[in-house]
Structure 1
Amino acid sequence: MMKGRHIAPLLMISSAFAAGGASAQDHGAHDHGAHKKAPVAAQCLGLPVEKIAIQTYVFASTLADIPVPAEWDTLPVAEKFERLKPSFAKLAGAKPDPTKLEAVLKQIAAIGYRNIEGMDLIGGSDPAGYAKLLKDNGLQAVASHANLDKDKWPATLAAAKARGQRFIGSGGFGGPGLDTLDHVLETARNLNALGEAAAAEGLTLYVHNHTGEFDNRFPYDHGDGKPVMTSAWEIVAANTDPRFVQFEVDIFWARLAFKPDRFDDLLAFLTKYRSRIALLHMKDLSATGSVTDMGAGTTDWRRVIEAAGPQIAYYIYEYDFPSDPAKSAKIGFDYLSCGGQKQAGG
């Protein structure tokens, strides 16, 4: 089983497969329950444009020259990642052509996005220069996925500040991992330390889930002397200071972890922990276990937004390796914002 393996934050797509691939493959083979049809697929959400962002990872294939056939868009996520695996090496330390990067940012801005969540993998090695490139295209970096390396953390924070971010995060929870209770508790201690350092620089640390954070469960005493099986995600939450550690919930991976036909369980989780959830990854789940365009899947997004609460800072669109990133990004923006309210009445 791969889902218990440590998530390597440097390579988001590979870590997603490692953490959730086997689980996702299992789900993809089964019926996805009462939410087969998108309950409001023909309707948009009308979220404020200033609270909408896009994870630049949507354009990873463009920036790293990774071809994605259109027929792969309908594959269960684990199968899609398996086919992409030979290409993952192109992302490690990738430095995209500046002209190509600028063209992608222009596309993102032209669609209507104002905010991005970057990944250091493809975010440019010059934070100040990258911040200027964003500004020149009318974009603001609000968050990013970076490596939770203690030794490099001061430089990571400095880069985030240079980009003008409010949040600094990771695609995983960092080391030593979530495979044992002792490791979960140590991971929480590490996150507290990193988060306290971030707070001292005016930044908020957040971490992002796949399925392993929920699938990995351990006997845990919540204070009454009676240990109960508790997910690694909840144990980390219980052992981190809300001032220093917040969470980004990826709805796609969370739905797979909670089981697609137990949607109310996910909603109850979002409501219970809303004070710890700062960001949402808006990523839709199809009935066959693939990532799909916003509004074309099985997620009742209005109920998600209501359960997660009004404190969400940004609703961040993400799609893992779409065959046509620009097209999917536009569908996402239009669904989230109702076309920017038709570009503010235009």
Structure 2
Amino acid sequence: MRNGDGPVRDEGRIPREPREGHEAPSEPAPAPAGIPEQQARPHPEDGLDGQTAAAEQAQAERAATMSEQHNDKHHDPHDRSGARAMFIELRKLPDGSPEKADLRNQLVRMHLPLVEHLARRFRNRGEPLDDLTQVATIGLIKSVDRFDPERGVEFSTYATPTVVGEIKRHFRDKGWAVRVPRRLQELRLALTTATAELSQQHGRSPTVHELAERLGISEEEVLEGLESANAYSTLSLDVPDTDDESPAVADTLGAEDEALEGVEYRESLKPLLEDLPPREKRILLLRFFGNMTQSQIAQEVGISQMHVSRLLARTLAQLRERLLVEE
């Protein structure tokens, strides 16, 4: 800075006089409040060299920090920025070493939020969320064991297909009410895809012959695959019908009428009752349809109560035997 009296000292330094043929350098802008002026602006003689030196120093400090993080064996499992360094170290450690097992567990815990996010995409499909999270964690562990950090791919990008595939495999293997062979499970999936494609192509449901031609299988195999679909379980009755606010499927079903249980028995007994002798038939009707006691039946029919008991026992035994023969 200059004034009318000549050069003055600035912060204890004497600025250089401008060289011959060169203009004096312009005065740097004043430092922001709270920052010492000596730190806020470079020395006039440094120019761009001072900025380069500062950038190199900052880069060296960052490199030193990364080196310390890499050499530190106790990584913070919540520090995602250090995940790549942890994976590199994991590959260098020998199999079976406690250090490798501990680092592997840290990486798994670090990425559990990814597992929970992917598992929630499959909720309300008949499986508890906790079970889906456990299945997805298996996929995460497989991804940690197989991931190569040198490929330049983010771990979340690499792990997502494996985790989702593990969840879908769980639905495919566990979503059958009756256990059927894997061949039929895969055939059902192929039939579902072919049916959708042919329906869109022809504007109607495909025939068995068209499905067989599309998949290159026999019509008998198509029918077998369609029949196996009946073993596939539907959603739980406790799951909401459409969304969380709608009632459960079970709440929309009617109650079972206990009287319906006796319809089949009455229809089966009707022809057998017609074949009974008139007295045995009358005693049976008075006992079970008239709700009369054996003593009352004896007075009504005109025989002893003991005789009524023997006739009832013999008639019921005959009916039971004939029902078993017909079944």
The TM-score bracket by the shorter chain reads under 0.3
TM-score, normalising length: structure 1: 0.17
Structure with larger RCO (C-alpha < 8 A, sep 6+) = 1
> Which has more helix, going by share of residues?
2
> Which has more strand, going by share of residues?
1
Larger radius of gyration: 2
